[in-house]
């Protein structure tokens, strides 16, 4: 029986513009296409958890508008319990403005809107969902004090805590770091949090050590097409990822995090959970959009049985 996952975080409607190359400051360029996709780091991680077979509930806020409805529908289609996501009047649903270039790389600007109401007060009103879950997964696209409250509450209740520190703040208080079972930065986020440059693998090991020394139990760094690195007191393990031609890397990290949470919920050991998450995100990057590109459990299982 799979453990219960609680996802706390943002829901955004993504407005995605396909371009040749990123514009320079002061430059005007022509886009090739524009599309709307359900997104938001929290909602993407929830969607991945649901599509990959997890038993998951999401906490977050949307506006009382068409985008909010579409986002709730997208999560319901992925089998997520959305009944505690609040629909707020007089504030717009969060939006993300995303440029995707011909290499699948992106630049993102988020306007938080209703995500700003996913605050400590709202989380306190949903304490039952904290009590009912086994695993909390949270990112940093909502107010930091709400993120830290959620981590402290989940820790106090003895839950497994996964923090995806995206977008990364300059620092996370030491007393919060001690309460985290898995922190999952990419190399840029690790550089910001550790204060070390994290380009080469050796630098990444050193950056991860900074967080381990502050009390995080496992540091799991995603490094794009170079795979991922897991650092904990047992040592350092590096994982390759499948070589694919990316179409759009938006939400690759979210898919990885959601998949990792599902595998942990199923009782997989961390190494096995990383392999599962790598397979899921290697499919995700070959498709356009955030939630639209997240694979189903059948697709990931089929790929694993072909390639492992």
Residue number, 38 or 270, with CB nearest to ligand RIB: 38
230 three-class SS: strand
Stretch that binds ligand RIB, among 6-14, 66-74, 228-236, 293-301 (CB under 6 A): 6-14
Instruction: Write out the catalytic residue numbers.
Output: 254
Residue appearing with tokens 């392999």: 275
- Asked if 254 is part of the footprint of ligand RIB (rule: CB under 6 A), the reply reads yes
- Kindly report whether the peptide bond that precedes residue 125 is cis, defined as omega within 30 degrees of 0: no
150 near 131, Cβ under 8 Å? no
Residues in contact with ligand RIB, counted by CB under 6 A, come to a total of: 16
The rounded distance, in Å, linking the Cα atoms of 263 and 241 is 17
Contact string 7-46 vs ligand RIB (x = CB under 6 A): ---x-x-x------------------------xxx--x--
Coil, strand or helix at 24: coil
The binder of ligand RIB chosen from 47, 61, 71, 96 (CB under 6 A): 96
Q: Strand runs (DSSP E) across 80-186, as ranges? A: 86-88, 94-100, 106-111, 135-138, 160-163, 182-183
Stretch that binds ligand RIB, among 149-157, 232-240, 245-253, 263-271 (CB under 6 A): 245-253
The alpha-helical segments, DSSP class H, found in 37-186 are 41-51, 66-77, 120-125, 127-132, 144-156, 174-177
Q: What does DSSP say about strands 228-232 and 235-239: parallel, antiparallel, or unpaired?
A: antiparallel
Work out which of 250, 257, 281, 293 binds ligand RIB, going by CB under 6 A: 250
Smallest separation (angstroms) from ligand RIB to the CB of 223: 16
Per DSSP, the three-state class of 307 is helix
Report the residue from 162, 251, 265, 274 that binds ligand RIB according to the rule CB under 6 A: 251
Of 15 and 212, nearer to ligand RIB (C-beta) is: 15
Between 53 and 253, CB nearer to ligand RIB: 253
Residues of this chain, 100-139, that bind ligand RIB according to CB under 6 A? 108, 110
């Amino acid at each position: 029986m799979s453990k219960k996952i609680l996802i706390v975080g943002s829901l955004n409607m993504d407005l995605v513009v396909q371009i040749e190359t990123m514009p320079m400051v002061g430059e005007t360029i022509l886009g090739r296409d524009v599309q709307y996709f359900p997104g938001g780091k929290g909602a993407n991680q929830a969607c991945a958890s649901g599509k990959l077979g997890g038993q998951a509930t999401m906490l977050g806020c949307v506006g009382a508008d068409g985008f909010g409805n579409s986002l709730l529908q997208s999560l319901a289609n992925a089998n997520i319990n959305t009944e505690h996501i609040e629909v707020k009047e007089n504030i717009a649903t969060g939006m993300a403005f995303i440029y995707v270039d011909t290499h699948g790389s992106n630049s993102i600007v988020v306007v938080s809107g209703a995500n700003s109401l996913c605050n400590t007060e709202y989380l306190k009103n949903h304490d039952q969902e904290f009590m009912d879950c086994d695993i909390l997964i949270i990112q940093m696209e909502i107010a930091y004090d709400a993120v830290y409250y959620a981590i402290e509450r989940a820790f106090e209740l003895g839950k497994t805590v996964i923090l995806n520190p995206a977008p990364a703040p300059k620092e996370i208080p030491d007393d919060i770091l001690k309460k985290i079972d898995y922190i999952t930065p990419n190399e840029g986020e690790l550089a910001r949090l550790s204060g070390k440059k994290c380009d080469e693998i050796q630098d990444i090991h050193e950056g991860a050590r900074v967080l381990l020394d502050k009390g995080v139990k496992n540091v799991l760094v995603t490094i794009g097409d170079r795979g991922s690195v897991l650092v904990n007191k047992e040592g350092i393990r590096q994982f390759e990822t499948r070589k694919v031609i990316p179409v759009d890397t938006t939400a690759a990290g979210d898919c990885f995090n959601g998949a990792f949470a599902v595998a942990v919920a199923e009782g997989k050991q961390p190494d096995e959970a990383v392999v599962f998450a790598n397979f899921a995100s290697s499919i995700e990057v070959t498709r356009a959009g955030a939630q639209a590109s997240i694979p189903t459990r059948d697709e990931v299982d089929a790929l694993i049985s072909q390639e492992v």
